[in-house]
Every structure is written in structure tokens, then in C-alpha cells.
């Protein structure tokens, strides 16, 4: 089973948890995309839900799929969020933000009663931060000073897109991709980074995911949060 198929089966499995009347957090990325397609089909077949997207890109896809949308201005609680991740460990610590949507993803995650993370098997790691650079969103003002502070915590960081043509997030900010030799204490590093003036948010998600649904070469595998 190739990687694309693994993403699809994981995402579609997660949509089986959706029930009529739910407010749904709609994730960003190539795996969450398959969930959006499936939710679109379910809505066409009469499912009554409202989605809250985690990025402008997801909003556009959701509109194309006919998924009714709203926002956190209207709803303070989200029943269920289905989102992807870039790296996942056995404690359900995550790295997110490969699609540059980490700020909105974390806000939506924080407002969600239940979070299902959908990944292919390449995303599973012993310790997060070993195979994927941690995205950190920073404001443009004084970004070089912010990067110098961030570099005291990681090995090195790169401005996503490069200094000449940096990627601009949906929130108008830059992303630093920060390299580590693993992040054994993710909660600590998450706080350390967020204490730096100029850092908006980082892609470490701790104690947020309830279940990880993994598409593998032999089918679906699950990892659950223990507490
Ligand atoms: C976007 C994200 C994505 O969920 C993450 O990058 C996974 O994406 P993909 O499913 O395309 O590998 O965090 O900010």
C-alpha cells in the first residue's frame, strides 16, 4: 500500500466518528484533504455538520466541497477535529506546521473536545524532532533578533522559503524551521520557544491529540492517549 493510500484510509477512518449536529475542526494538509473530500460526500448525502477550517487553504477546499462553515467567533467549542501531523510519538506528542497552519491548528485544537490525528506510517517516530524540523511562527518585526534567540534552543533554523522570498503565513508572519536532534522534553521546549518575544506559536502539540489513526502498508493502526 503506497503512502498516498495510507493517508486516504487513515483520513476516511477518522470520518466514521462524525455524527449529525457536530461542529467539526477541519485540518490542513495532504492527509486531512482526504477527510475533507469524504466529509463533502457525507454532506451531499445529508450529513448535518458545521466545519471550522484551520487555514485559508482548507476553507477554500471546504467551500468547493459544499461543507457549511462557521468560525470560533460563533462557536466556542468544537466537538471533533480531524487533522494531520508531521511527526508523532507513542505519547501522542506531535510536530505540526508543515503546511504553515500551526497557529490556527493549535487554536482549533485547544477549543476541541476530541482530536483525531491522521497520518501515514512514515510520521511515527520514537522521539519527535528527529525526522522533521519544528516549525515556529514568528512576527516579521525584528525577525533576525527572534531567530537568534530561537537558535539558542535548537541546533539551527531556516526561514521557510528563504530570506529573499520568505513564505508568509495566513496570519502574515514568517516560519522558522528549527532543527533538533530529537525533542525528548516537548512540553518544556514548547514553553521555552513561546517565551521568546516575537514568537507567535510553535508546532509542538502536547496532550492535545486523543487518538492517532495510522494508515500502514497492512491496514489501520491506532495509538491512544493514556490519560
Ligand atoms: C499543517 C499541518 C499538517 O497537518 C501537517 O503538515 C501534515 O501534512 P500532510 O498530511 O500533508 O503530511 O500541520 O500545518
Q: pLDDT value at position 25? A: 99
For a substitution probing ligand 1, which of 31, 167, 173 has the most ligand atoms within 8 Å of its CB? 31
The sign of the CA dihedral 112, 128, 56, 211 is negative
CB under 8 A, 24+ apart: contacts of 165-170: 167/100, 169/100, 169/101, 169/103, 169/137, 170/55, 170/56, 170/100, 170/101, 170/104
51-75: pLDDT as tens digits = 999 999 999 999 999 999 999 999 9
18-28: pLDDT as tens digits = 999 999 999 99
> At 1, is the pLDDT very low, low, confident or very high (cuts 50, 70, 90)?
confident
Q: In the predicted model, is pLDDT for residue 145 greater than 70?
A: yes
> At 226, is the pLDDT very low, low, confident or very high (cuts 50, 70, 90)?
confident
> At 227, is the pLDDT very low, low, confident or very high (cuts 50, 70, 90)?
low
Answer yes or no: is the C-beta of 186 below 6 A from any ligand 1 atom. Answer: no
213 bridge partner residues: 118, 222
Answer yes or no: is the C-beta of 54 below 6 A from any ligand 1 atom. Answer: no
Ligand 1 closest atom vs CA 97: 14
Answer yes or no: is the C-beta of 135 below 6 A from any ligand 1 atom. Answer: no
Where is pLDDT greater, at 227 or 48?
Answer: 48
> At 91, is the pLDDT very low, low, confident or very high (cuts 50, 70, 90)?
very high
182-199: pLDDT as tens digits = 999 999 999 999 999 999
pTM: 0.97
Mean pLDDT calculated for residue range 132-160: 98
What DSSP line would sit under 104-152, residue for residue? HHHHHHHTBS-EEEEEEGGGB-SSTTSSSPEEEEE-STTHHHHHHHHTT
Centroid of ligand 1 to alpha carbon of 227 (angstroms): 25
Amino acid at each position: 500500500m503506497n503512502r498516498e493510500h495510507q493517508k486516504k484510509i487513515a483520513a476516511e477512518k477518522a470520518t466514521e466518528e462524525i455524527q449529525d449536529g457536530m461542529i467539526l475542526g477541519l485540518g490542513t494538509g495532504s492527509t486531512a484533504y482526504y477527510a475533507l473530500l469524504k466529509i463533502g460526500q457525507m454532506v451531499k448525502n445529508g450529513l448535518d455538520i458545521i466545519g471550522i477550517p484551520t487555514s485559508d487553504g482548507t476553507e477554500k477546499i471546504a467551500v468547493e466541497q459544499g461543507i457549511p462553515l462557521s468560525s470560533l467567533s460563533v462557536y466556542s467549542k468544537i466537538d471533533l477535529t480531524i487533522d494531520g501531523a508531521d511527526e508523532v510519538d507513542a505519547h501522542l506528542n506531535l510536530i505540526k506546521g508543515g503546511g504553515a497552519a500551526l497557529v490556527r491548528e493549535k487554536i482549533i485544537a485547544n477549543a476541541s473536545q476530541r482530536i483525531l490525528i491522521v497520518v501515514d506510517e512514515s510520521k511515527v517516530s520514537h522521539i519527535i524532532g528527529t525526522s522533521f524540523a519544528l516549525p515556529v511562527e514568528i512576527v516579521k518585526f525584528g525577525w533576525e533578533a527572534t531567530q537568534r534567540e530561537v537558535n539558542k534552543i535548537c541546533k539551527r533554523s531556516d526561514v521557510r522559503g528563504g530570506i529573499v522570498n520568505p513564505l508568509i503565513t495566513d496570519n502574515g508572519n514568517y516560519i522558522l524551521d528549527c532543527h533538533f536532534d530529537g525533542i525528548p522534553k516537548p512540553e518544556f521546549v514548547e514553553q521555552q520557544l513561546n517565551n521568546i518575544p516575537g514568537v507567535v506559536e510553535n508546532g509542538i502539540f502536547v496532550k492535545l491529540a486523543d487518538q492517532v489513526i495510522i494508515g500502514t502498508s497492512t491496514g489501520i493502526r491506532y495509538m491512544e492517549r493514556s490519560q
